[in-house]
């Protein structure tokens, strides 16, 4: 039995703090700043009584965490999942702080979650739960305070219910209280593909840096939800050969390349990747170890660990998911010459276009999709090159460099603002 995985700390919040501590050491941060920045500012735990379809009342538990507000209001998604924990939400909120600072948009980090199994709930039950959750967290969210967005198993409809509930509470329509909304009520063009498009832009830059031709490059994508499926399609449109993709039911492999449009259609009609013709079955674990040019982890946390990092044969890892690689795995990948584009850079396209949506909602002036994508590309490529420059300056891998950049920006804002009172 391999005991390496057992020994490795997989608590997401402790991993987030370890990543912060590493950057703080490089920056030689003062002790008081370290104490302030490594802790969440606010943690709200709520009970969510929900009327179910059978007439019963079920009480769910939900969270909203605001990690840091030094550079602007909190920003971050809401996830519905059976395994949601407070520590996970705290970690995700802190990663949002660093993510926003990495791409230099004026937000702090927030995150929310509800412990539930949305796959076993009807649309009406989801609406009932969402509206009660929104009313419970309304005491700390708002267009100038904390702006939620979609995350795992939430979507534009979820955001519409939250916006409506909050608006009813305050007595006026508040378009800016959430992002990732439907276009009909203040959503932004390009928001649905933004996370994946950001992955596409930084993958292009990484391929240039590593002198890999993206046209014909072999790509494997773990996780075929919104981010993973769209990233697979966009990279295939760039000429890459997507050889494997997977979802929670397992994966499919075709060394000659998959027809991503056909795969998306199959998943849309059947609900999973299983049974897709012209491909062999492959496990999620095996997919991570395929020989390829670009590996895109687009599922959940802790997928690449000390136990399997040594078997990762990708040349570039572009993290579309949050926290897919543990600190111990980072060191192994770096030692083996794998170029990792960290989550707080690679998947920042979503929050960047959320920022664009928020600006549009506050101004009630909306942009064309080409304008959104143009500005997104500028933000992502600039951030990639800033992180790369720090990587070279400090002689560290890209995750450490991104944290050094982000923590430095938040620390400077905190110093300038000072401590009140």
Question: Which residues neighbour 43 within 8 Å (Cβ) at sequence distance 6 or greater?
Answer: 63, 65, 86, 90
Q: Please identify, among 137, 166, 184, the residue that sits at the C-terminal boundary of a domain.
A: 184
Q: Which two tokens stand for residue 8?
A: 């490795």
pLDDT of residue 45: 98
**Helix, strand counts (H, E) of the chain:** 15, 12
Report the chain's mean pLDDT, rounded to a whole number.
Answer: 95
Residues, the chain? 421
Least Cα distance to 353 among 382, 323, 373 occurs for 373
Model pLDDT for residues 195-236, shown as the tens digit of each residue: 999 999 999 999 999 999 999 999 999 999 889 999 999 999
What pLDDT is stored for residue 1 in this prediction?
A: 38
Residue 11 included in any domain = no
In a domain, 409, yes or no: no
Determine, yes or no, domain membership for 357: no
% the chain with pLDDT above 90:
93
Q: Rounded to an integer, what distance in angstroms lies between the CA atom of residue 106 and that of residue 6?
A: 39
Is 265 part of any domain? Answer: yes
Clarify whether residues 174 and 201 are in a common domain: no
Q: What are phi and psi of 363, to 5 degrees?
A: -90, -15
Nearest to 76 by CA among 98, 61, 60: 98
CA–CA separation, 329 vs 8, rounded Å? Answer: 10
Look at residue 405 and give its three-state secondary structure. helix
Task: For residue 296, give the nearest of 317, 273, 323 by alpha carbon.
Answer: 317
Within a domain: residue 392? no
Looking at the fold, whether 209 and 327 belong to one and the same domain comes out as yes
Virtual torsion, Cα 170, 173, 179, 182, nearest 10 deg? 140
171, 202: one domain: no
CA distances from 132 to 21, 82, 162, 280, 402 (A): 37, 18, 9, 44, 37
Catalytic position from the list 75, 90, 99, 111:
111
- Per-residue pLDDT band for 9 (boundaries 50, 70, 90) equals confident
For the chain, state the CA radius of gyration: 21
Please tell me whether residues 211 and 336 are part of one structural domain: yes
Residue in this structure with the two tokens 């949601």, named with its chain if needed: 84
Asked which of 346, 379, 406 is the last residue of a domain, the reply is 346
Tell whether 169 and 200 lie within a shared domain.
no
Residue pLDDT, tens place only, 291-301: 999 999 999 88
DSSP summary character for residue 349: H
pLDDT at 401 over 60: yes
Residue 49 DSSP symbol: E
Same domain, 210 and 135: no
Model pLDDT for residues 301-312, shown as the tens digit of each residue: 899 999 999 999
Q: Is the dihedral of CA 99, 103, 107, 112 positive or negative?
A: negative
Residue range(s) defining the domain that contains residue 284: 194-346
Q: What would the mean pLDDT of 358-379 be, rounded to a whole number?
A: 97
Residue 4's pLDDT band (cuts 50, 70, 90): very low
| CA geometry: angle 227, 321, 154, nearest 5 deg | 60
Report pLDDT digits (tens) over 228-279.
999 999 999 999 999 999 998 899 999 999 999 999 999 999 999 999 998 9
Q: What is the CATH number of the domain that holds 198?
A: 3.40.50.720
Whether 15 maps to a domain, the answer reads: no
Q: What is the domain-level CATH number for residue 147?
A: 3.40.50.10860
pLDDT at site 33? 97
Query: Does the pLDDT of residue 417 top 90, yes or no?
Result: yes
Domain count of the chain?
A: 2
Percent of the chain at pLDDT > 70 equals 99
Collect all residues with Cβ–Cβ distance below 8 Å to 25 and sequence separation of at least 6: none
- Given the structure tokens 């230099």, which residue do they identify? 104
Nearest to 366 by CA among 377, 358, 378: 358
pLDDT mean over 332-337? 97
- Please give the pLDDT value at position 3: 41
Q: Which of 131, 163, 184 is the last residue of a domain?
A: 184
Q: Are residues 219 and 339 in the same domain?
A: yes
Say yes or no: 336 and 198 in one domain: yes
Can you spell out the DSSP letters for 141-154?
-BTTTEEEEE-TT-
pLDDT tens-digit profile of 323-332?
Answer: 999 999 999 9
Under 8 Å between Cβ of 244 and 253: yes
DSSP secondary structure letter of residue 325: B
Q: Is the pLDDT of residue 6 over 60?
A: no
Claim to verify: residue 243 and residue 269 sit in the same structural domain: yes
Shared domain check, 211 and 148: no
| Average pLDDT value for residue range 399-421 | 97
pLDDT at 2: 46
pLDDT 10s digits, 115-168: 999 999 999 999 999 999 999 999 999 999 999 999 989 999 999 999 999 999
| Bridge partner residues of 317 (DSSP) | 295, 340
Q: How far apart are CA 421 and CA 417, in angstroms?
A: 11
For residue 152, what pLDDT is reported?
Answer: 87
- Mean pLDDT of the 392-406 span: 97
The predicted-structure confidence for 28-83, as pLDDT tens digits, reads as follows 999 999 999 999 999 999 999 999 999 999 999 999 999 999 999 999 999 999 99
What are the distances in angstroms from CA 282 to CA 200, 240, 250?
24, 20, 6
390 domain-assigned: no
Contacts of 279 (CB under 8 A, 6+ apart): 252, 253, 254, 258
The alpha carbon of 274 is separated from its chain's Cα centroid by a whole number of angstroms, namely: 25
Please indicate, yes or no, whether residues 66 and 157 belong to a single structural domain of this protein: yes
**The whole model's pTM is what?**
0.94
Q: Domain for residue 381, yes or no?
A: no
**What pLDDT does 355 receive?**
98
Give 100-136 as a DSSP string. Answer: HHHTT-S-EEEEEEEE--GGGS-HHHHHHHHHHHHHH
Residue 119 has what pLDDT?
94
For the question of residue 7 being annotated catalytic, the response is no
3-state secondary structure of 304: strand
> Do 170 and 296 belong together in one domain?
no
Residue 351: both structure tokens together: 């929050």
CA distance 97 to 63: 17
Nearest CA-CA partner of 149 in 189, 177, 188: 177
């Amino acid at each position: 039995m391999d005991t390496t995985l057992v020994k490795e700390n997989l608590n997401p919040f402790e991993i987030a703090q370890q990543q912060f501590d590493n950057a703080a050491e490089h920056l030689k941060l003062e002790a008081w700043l370290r104490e302030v920045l490594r802790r969440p500012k606010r943690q709200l735990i709520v009970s969510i009584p929900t009327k179910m379809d059978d007439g019963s009342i079920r009480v769910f538990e939900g969270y909203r965490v605001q990690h840091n507000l030094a550079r602007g209001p909190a920003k971050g998604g809401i996830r519905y999942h059976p395994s949601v924990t407070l520590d996970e939400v705290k970690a995700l909120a802190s990663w949002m702080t660093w993510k926003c600072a990495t791409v230099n948009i004026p937000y702090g980090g927030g995150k929310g979650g509800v412990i539930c199994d949305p796959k076993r709930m009807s649309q009406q039950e989801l609406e009932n739960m969402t509206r009660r959750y929104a009313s419970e967290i309304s005491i700390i969210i708002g267009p100038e305070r904390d702006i939620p967005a979609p995350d795992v198993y939430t979507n534009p409809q979820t955001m519409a219910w939250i916006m409506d509930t909050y608006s009813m509470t305050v007595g006026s329509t508040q378009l800016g209280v959430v992002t990732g909304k439907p276009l009909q009520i203040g959503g932004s063009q390009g928001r649905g593909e933004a996370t994946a498009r950001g992955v596409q832009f930084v993958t292009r830059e990484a391929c240039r840096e590593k002198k890999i031709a993206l046209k014909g490059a072999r790509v494997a994508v773990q996780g075929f939800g919104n981010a993973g499926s769209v990233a697979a399609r966009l990279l295939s449109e760039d000429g890459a050969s997507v050889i494997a993709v997977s979802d929670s039911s397992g994966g499919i492999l075709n060394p000659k390349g998959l027809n991503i449009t056909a795969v998306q259609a199959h998943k849309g009609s059947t609900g999973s990747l299983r049974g897709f013709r012209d491909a062999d079955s492959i496990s999620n674990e095996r997919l991570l170890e395929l020989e390829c040019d670009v590996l895109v982890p687009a599922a959940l946390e802790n997928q690449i660990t000390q136990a399997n990092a040594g078997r990762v044969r990708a040349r570039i890892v572009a993290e579309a998911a949050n926290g897919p690689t543990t600190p111990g795995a980072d060191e192994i990948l770096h030692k083996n010459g794998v170029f990792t584009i960290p989550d707080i850079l690679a998947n920042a396209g979503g929050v960047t276009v959320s920022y664009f949506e928020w600006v549009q909602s506050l101004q009630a002036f909306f942009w064309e999709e080409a304008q959104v994508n143009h500005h997104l590309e500028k933000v992502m490529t600039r951030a990639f090159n800033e992180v790369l420059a720090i990587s070279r300056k400090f002689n560290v891998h890209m995750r450490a460099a991104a944290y050094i950049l982000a923590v430095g920006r938040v620390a400077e804002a905190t110093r300038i603002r000072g401590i009140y009172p």
